[in-house]
Structure 1
Amino acid sequence: MDLVRLRTAGGVTLQALARGTALLCVAVLGQAVAAVMLLAATLSFGLGLVFLFPPAVRLTRAATRLERRLAREWSGVKIEEPYRPAPLPPVPQADGWYRDGRNLYRTPRIPAFNRRLKWLTTDPATWRDLAYLLIGLWSGGLLAGAPALLVLFGLGGGMVRFTEAGTAQVVWGNWHVGLLWAGLALVTAPWTAPWGVRIHGQIANSLLAPTEKARLARRVDHLARTRGEVVDSQAAELRRIERDLHDGAQARLVAIGMTIGAAEQLVDSDPNAAKALLTKAREASVTALHELRQVVRGIHPPVLAERGLGDAVRALALDSPLHTRVTVDLPGRPPVPVESAAYFAISELLTNAVRHGDATEAWIDISQRGGNLRISVTDDGQGGADPARGTGLSGIERRIAAFDGVLALNSPPGGPTTAVVELPLGAVATPVPTWRSVTIAVGWTLCWLPLFPQGLVPMVFKILDVREKSWFLALHLPEPFQWPVIVGMILMGGTMFTAAAVLTAQQKRAEEGACG
């Protein structure tokens, strides 16, 4: 068992070292991409070669997307794309020309390019990507690759001393020091290597995540798109209600009135016929009442308003031809609009299972996950469900889109079909304490100073026996105090950085939980 654990720990350590080295290489590649971006920006806005800027931005965004993907897969940090919504394509005027400012164009090519160029240049995320690529090597990349670099420096740098003439010679005393550093780096690698990879993800999250303005812009764009869909859906619902009332209850009420009128005329001359007509009127009134209840149930079921979502879904399951099992685990009642959207989504999913899936059984699970209402509907039908085929799934998507809900569908041919609906319940965000904001700001702003120019760089100079002291504080001190000061600087910078990263991650998790 101990041998298995040792092998597992060794594999995890080697994986973390490999990932840290890969992240360092990606950061070096980011430096090259940043240089291309700077050159393209200089040529575009300095010499007017604006056609070079969009490809450079696409290259920069490809590099930062790689950073986000690696942070998600290796550090477990999910980073949303921060870019503002792309501009809509230009629309021609009544005369067929396209206007861009004071200029008119026959084709939309130049107006579309100008809109896209303005979108790329005015989006703060474009320049934040560039800033991240410029400093990524010296922050997250160097931290992630530091364990592997220490091993290499120990094995290589400790054996070599650079003379004043620039030549290198082997020094056996430094060789032993180098092996000591390499051994120390390998011993601490099980802790430092995964830590460096995780911290790289936190740095990427702090610099590459969307700002509040970007989130607001995306939110406005999402609301603008869903508003039209909701309006169309409501208009279609009103037309359905009007049609049901006109063709059903209204027609029956008119027939009831005519039947009662005929009975009034026959009540004296033919009482038996009048009684028969009144009996038909009573039966028609029962049918009309049933149809009115069906219409009302289609608008908002009374059981949903009186008993809540769980009992309403159980009543829906009893009316369904499917053998349905319902599991409800809710701490309380969701908001009324969310409850209504969830009920009709479940109703439509059961209807689809009967009409299109030929299902015989269904399983419904309703629970609360964090700030979301989570609904899972599974049936044993033939599968193959697709929202694009107009089987009611697109209507569910439109209905829940108004609440920022999502629909995940897994329906392979042959079944089974599983649909998962998540609807945010909403919550109130707690204010950020002042001490937390100050700690985060000071940590991100000043952590690099003791960590790099006063810590890691002097350490490398000491390992390589470089005689240049420059402005490194520790190298100007007497020999016995140099290593303690270097280690103290690294610990100080690492502590500041870790505190800022942890508090930032906690704050983002709190915001995500508040947003549902």
Structure 2
Amino acid sequence: MTTRSDRPAPAPPSPTVPPADRVGFGATMWKEVVHLLVNLPLSLLAFVYVTVAVAVGVALSVTVVGLPLLAAGLAGARLVGRAERARARALLDVRVEEPSRPPYRPGGGALGVVWTALGDPVAWRTVLYGFVRLPWGVLTFTVTLVALGVLWPALPYLVRWMANADRAMVRGLLGPSDELERRVAELESDRGVVVDVAAADLRRIERDLHDGAQARLVALAMGLGLAKEKAAEDPDAAARMVEEAHSEVKLALRELRDLARGIHPAVLTDRGLDAALSSVASRCTVPVTVTVDLPERPAEATEGIAYFTVSELLQNVSKHARARHATGNVWRTGDRLLIQVTDDGHDGADPAHGTGLAGLAERLDAVDGLFVVDSPPGGPTTVTAELPWRSRTAVRR
């Protein structure tokens, strides 16, 4: 089974002219008929709304309330566009991505919000859509109604022609402005993933500190306090308690080192991926061969993501794979940093079951990465990850 978690490509648009064998008295045609018949009432409502919103806003623009009213009308136009996209999805099978929110234009509080709405190209294109839809709605309603009564043999072809014109209109006027806008929407989604992952990591660190080192240090302080009280009356007991406290200090320091290694290991900072991953491999319960072939050290953020990706994959091998051997390879190809971890275990890996691989996929997706799991029944399992290459020297400049 192969699972890809890279950002899915947008669904291909419906063809402008569907195949000839789809033209006929089928379910598709009747959905198109319904769409064309409701064009008139919905177009009339949209026309009235955008006309009133724009006319009132422009007429009152010389007053204090004019521009805010126009901005509110444009915000409402976005809702009209959303409803029309939903109707097109349901009746015309047109998949149009939802446009991203307009970028905030600095202006100070409410004024900034108003200027953002006034400069929203998606809202203005929806206004244009509302204006041109009324005559088109009258035409499609009339032709469809006449064809249903007297032009029955030509009905599928007339309906298909008008429905294709509607499809083109929806894509052209109600879709995202351009590739940059779609990219903004993707980055907004990725930012949410990054924030959630960071919050989960902070909660894990807080829990580890509270349940581990902090609890141990509290017990250590209490033990030293008791030893201090017994020092004068029972030196032998106090010595034993100090010895126990010394052991507790060692354990606390070990836990803190492990926690720090989980945040960002010192060996990664000082010596890079090769040494850091060799250290991870030495702690794995399965023999691991690690190979790092990089012309230079990548940017710190990229290096950290690569380290934790390999670390978590090797932990999964130790816990779940029942493997006898594993390999880890890191290399650069063009502008991509590639990671591949393979094990000869027989237990399949499925990102859909469990949170470990799914979490890795989300983290890589948030930085424009790629995550592929190839785990057929009976093994072996190969996990490949890609990251955008960023040079450490370029980042420092």
TM-score, normalised relative to structure 1: 0.44
Conserved 8 A contact 2:298-2:390: no
Question: 2: CA distance between counterparts of 1:393 and 1:102?
Answer: 41
Could you tell me which residue of structure 2 aligns to residue 113 of structure 1? 87
CA contact under 8 A between 2:323 and 2:345: conserved in structure 1? Answer: yes
Question: What amino acid is aligned across from residue 224 of structure 1 in structure 2?
Answer: E
CA distance in 2, matches of 1:298, 1:365: 21
SS in 2 for 1:223: helix
- 1:117-516 to structure 2, matched below 5 A, reads 214-426=178-390
The structural deviation recorded for 1:224 is 1.7
Amino acid across the alignment from 1:386? D
Q: Deviations over 1:99-158 (max 9, x none)?
A: x948999xx9767227999985999xxxxxxxxxxxxxxxxxxxxxxxxxxxxxxxxxxx
Shift of 1:322: 1.0
The equivalent of 2:67 in structure 1 is none
Higher helix proportion (structure 1 or 2): 1
Is the partner of 2:288 in helix, strand or coil?
strand
What one-letter code is carried by the residue in structure 2 that aligns with 1:398?
Answer: E
User: In the TM superposition, what is the alpha-carbon distance from 1:361 to its structure 2 partner?
Assistant: 0.8
Q: CA deviation at 1:223?
A: 1.3
SS at match of 2:352: helix
RMSD of aligned residue pairs (Cα, Å):
3.7
Higher relative contact order (CA 8 A, sep 6+): 2
Report SS of the residue matched to 1:326. Answer: strand
Conserved? CA contact 2:335–2:389, under 8 Å:
yes
Q: Identity of paired residues, percent?
A: 47
- TM superposition shift of 1:31: 10
Partner SS for 1:387: coil
2:236 is paired with a residue whose SS is: helix
CA distance in 1, matches of 2:369, 2:382: 17
Cα deviation for residue 214 of structure 1 reads: 3.5
Provide the C-alpha distance between the structure 2 equivalents of 1:395 and 1:31, rounded to a whole number of angstroms.
Answer: 39
Contact 2:372 2:385 (C-alpha < 8 Å) held by counterparts: yes
Alpha carbons of 1:276 and 1:111: their partners in 2 closer, same or farther (altered >3 Å)?
same
Deviation at 1:359, TM superposition (A): 1.4
Aligned residue in 2 for 1:80: none
Gaps of 5+ in 1: 1-29, 36-43, 52-99, 124-211, 428-516
Secondary structure in structure 1 of the residue aligned to 2:321: coil
What is the TM-score with the length of structure 2 in the denominator? 0.57
Assess, with a 3 A threshold, how the Cα gap between structure 1 residues 50 and 310 changes in structure 2: closer, same or farther. Answer: farther
Q: One-letter code of the match for 1:237?
A: D
Q: Deviations over 1:354-381 (max 9, x none)?
A: 2121112101111000011101100011
Would you say how many aligned residue pairs link Structure 1 and Structure 2? 252
